[in-house]
Amino acid sequence: MLEVRNVTRLFGSRRAVDTVSFTVDRPQFVGIIGRSGAGKSTFLRMMNRLLDASSGEIRFEGRNILALRGAEARTWQSQCAMIFQQFNLVPRIDVASNVLHGKLNSRSTLATMFNLWSRADIVQALDILDRLGIAEQAPKRAEALSGGQQQRVAIARALMQDPKIILADEPIASLDPMNAQVVMDTLKRINTEDGRMVIANLHTLDTARRYCDRVIGLRDGRLVFDGPACDLTTDMAREIYGADESFNEEATSTAMPAANPALHAVRVAAQ
Amino acid sequence: MTVINAVPDSPQTIRDSYLAMTRRKRLYSGIMLLIFVILFVSGFRIAEDRNAGGFLDGIGQIFDFPAAMISEAAEKAANLPGHIIDVLPALVETVNIAAVSTLIGCLAGVMLALLATRGLAPWPRLTGMFRRVSDILRAVPEIVVALVLIFVLGGGPVPAAIAIALHTAGAMGKLFSEVNENADLKPLDGLASVGASWGQRMWLGVIPQVAPNYFSYGLMRFEINIRASAILGFVGAGGIGYELKNAMTFGQGKLDEAAGIFLVLFVTIVAFDQLSSLIRNRLTYGGA
């Protein structure tokens, strides 16, 4: 399904991503962990074609997506949704329009300028917002929402794309633990219920262990771990984070509340 | 700084070197002031030599023209309302020239700005070229372009509108691209990630962020263009400037008409100035 072969990205002489290879053959929830600067974001941005690779191939369903140019690359982007740490919504536009942006690739620029969306598209956008528990926010400006709500709008935009893969670049790094859990639960549900592949950059071990079927560890741009989340031992984590004996797992923990009644209420509302 | 870094050992040397630096800075300031005074005085002398009259001799006559105009206008005060009504069509023409040229110039300016801003431009290597284009457009004075166009197209409002629009495009291209530099790029990344085209990214990602500033600068430019279009009337581009030139000539006994035109022009510019600052304040600080 997804085959990554020797992907490398150079910034000057620094190898941000260094000959990374792995294969994902079914729609798994894949977590990529590593320290800041390990190349996680660079890798996801190359997958979405926001950034060009220096060498290597990423094959999805047989096609090398790194070789796509112009309109073809944009079509790939529309099938490969991306969620960002800072949400990257258009702040001054209403929530529903931000969700509709997921369909931009199939609309002409002229239709975009006059805000011409079909009734079916609008209904779909509202349905997705409803599924994520934020339908009542649809007419508000995106900037008026809380961080957790904005991230759910970003997920709604991703779903609007009807993507084959969802890439999430540190999706919970800007959120409080409660919102983080809502967002991660949502991503997990999309993965299991819709059967969409999710690849998420995470910088905390416990999140990776709790949500991912499979974890990939990057260190200085190189792949140093690839296996099921249960194989991620403390020694292995030490290796990935390049830490010595004093390595403390707590340092990479978000202290996500496991059983918080208030959070449970939020989750019920979200469903 | 290098002096201080070179001798970090004793407080005494640090103090001495700091005082030396202060003295040196004062010396440079003094030299700059001296150069300024020399340039100013020599420039003034050159201007004085080239003048047909003398600056100091002529300065007494500076109020002769306004005095003549006011006394003539006062004598024929009864004619003033009639003159004002007579020039209204010309005023409308002048404001029209300004409005059309501001609109066209600003639209062209938006395009130039987007093409010339690093990080937004679709062809990053050509940003320098588009910057030079707006430099050139605003470097050439409107009046020069208008004179050439009047020669080609004949007198009238069209050459004036084109001349002002070209200058406006250059000026706005520069201002708008500075506004663009401050635009947040995160929404653009988000739009790029869904496969949006360049036009879609600009329209949805940049324009909503910069529109209030664009509008504000556009209104300010409109005021400037009203004045510019009045001046272009002097070289035969129509509008109120043309009427003013005819009326203003000394010794024709038409100075009351000129006074009427000045009055209308003054009121118009003040009115648009007030209106635009009102709108700009609302855009900048919010409100109804």
Confidence of residue A245 (pLDDT cuts 50, 70, 90): low
pLDDT, greater one: B273 or B162: B162
For residue A154, list chain B residues with Cβ-Cβ distance below 8 A.
190
Residue A255: left if φ>0, alpha if ψ -120 to 50, beta else—which one? left
So what's the pLDDT on residue A261? Answer: 45
pLDDT, greater one: A246 or A113: A113
Residue B275: pLDDT over 90:
no
For residue A88, list chain B residues with Cβ-Cβ distance below 8 A.
186-187, 189-190, 193
Is residue B158 in some structural domain?
A: yes
B211: CATH: 1.10.3720.10
| Residue B89 and residue B143 in one domain | yes
Is residue B111 in some structural domain?
A: yes
Confidence of residue A252 (pLDDT cuts 50, 70, 90): low
Q: Which residues contact A160 (CB under 8 A, 6 or more apart)?
A: A99, A100, A101, A102, A103, A124, A125, A128
| Residue B128 and residue B28 in one domain | no
Whether residues A84 and B195 touch (CB distance < 8 A) is answered with no
Residue A249: pLDDT over 80:
no
Percent of chain B beyond pLDDT 70?
93
So what's the pLDDT on residue A270? Answer: 47
B178 backbone dihedrals φ, ψ, rounded to 5°:
-70, -35
Taking CB atoms and an 8 Å cut-off, how many pairs form between chains A and B?
79
B187 touches chain A (CB under 8 A): yes
| Residue B257 and residue B124 in one domain | yes
For residue A89, list chain B residues with Cβ-Cβ distance below 8 A.
187, 190
CA distance B264 to A59: 72
Is residue B57 in some structural domain?
A: no
Residue A94 has what DSSP assignment?
B
Tell me which residue range forms the domain holding B207.
67-285
Is residue B11 in some structural domain?
A: yes
CA distance B205 to B183: 9
pLDDT, greater one: A261 or A229: A229
Q: Which of A73, A93, A102 sits opposite B208 (nearest CB)?
A: A93
So what's the pLDDT on residue B279? Answer: 81
Is residue B275 in some structural domain?
A: yes
Q: Which of A58-67, A155-164, B225-234 has the lowest mean pLDDT?
A: B225-234
Distance of CA A195 to the CA centre of its chain: 15
| Residue B125 and residue B32 in one domain | no
Tell me whether residue A79 is exposed, middle or buried, using C-beta atoms within 10 angstroms of its C-beta: 0 to 12, 13 to 18, 19 or more. middle
So what's the pLDDT on residue B72? Answer: 83
CA distance B7 to B76: 81
List, for residues B259-272, the tens digit of each pLDDT value.
888 888 889 888 88
| Residue B186 and residue B250 in one domain | yes
CA distance A190 to A77: 19
Confidence of residue B1 (pLDDT cuts 50, 70, 90): very low
Residue B287: pLDDT over 60:
no
Tell me whether residue B123 is exposed, middle or buried, using C-beta atoms within 10 angstroms of its C-beta: 0 to 12, 13 to 18, 19 or more. exposed
For residue B196, list chain A residues with Cβ-Cβ distance below 8 A.
74, 101, 104-105
**Total domain count, chain B:** 2
B188, B191, B194: best to mutate for the A interface, most A CBs within 10 A: B194
List, for residues B193-206, the tens digit of each pLDDT value.
999 999 999 999 99
Strand partners, A198: A29, A166
So what's the pLDDT on residue B227? Answer: 87
So what's the pLDDT on residue A264? Answer: 46
Q: Residues B23, B25, B28, CA angle at the centre, nearest 5°?
A: 110
| Residue B41 and residue B71 in one domain | no
List, for residues B111-156, the tens digit of each pLDDT value.
999 999 988 999 989 999 999 999 999 999 888 998 898 888 887 8
Confidence of residue A253 (pLDDT cuts 50, 70, 90): low
Q: What's the pTM value of the predicted model, to 2 decimals? A: 0.77
List, for residues A230-241, the tens digit of each pLDDT value.
888 888 888 888
- Portion 200-219 of B in contact with A at CB < 8 A: 200, 203-205, 208-209
Average pLDDT over residues A81-90: 94
Strand partners, A80: A165
| Residue B17 and residue B92 in one domain | no
| Residue B132 and residue B160 in one domain | yes
CA distance A49 to A44: 8
Is residue B186 in some structural domain?
A: yes
| Residue B74 and residue B141 in one domain | yes
Confidence of residue B8 (pLDDT cuts 50, 70, 90): low
The mean of the pLDDT values for chain A is 88
Confidence of residue B50 (pLDDT cuts 50, 70, 90): confident
Residue B256: pLDDT over 90:
no
Confidence of residue A244 (pLDDT cuts 50, 70, 90): low
* CATH architecture under which domain A2-270 falls: 3-Layer(aba) Sandwich (3.40)
So what's the pLDDT on residue B2? Answer: 46
Q: Which of A91, A92, A105 sits opposite B195 (nearest CB)?
A: A105
The mean of the pLDDT values for chain B is 86
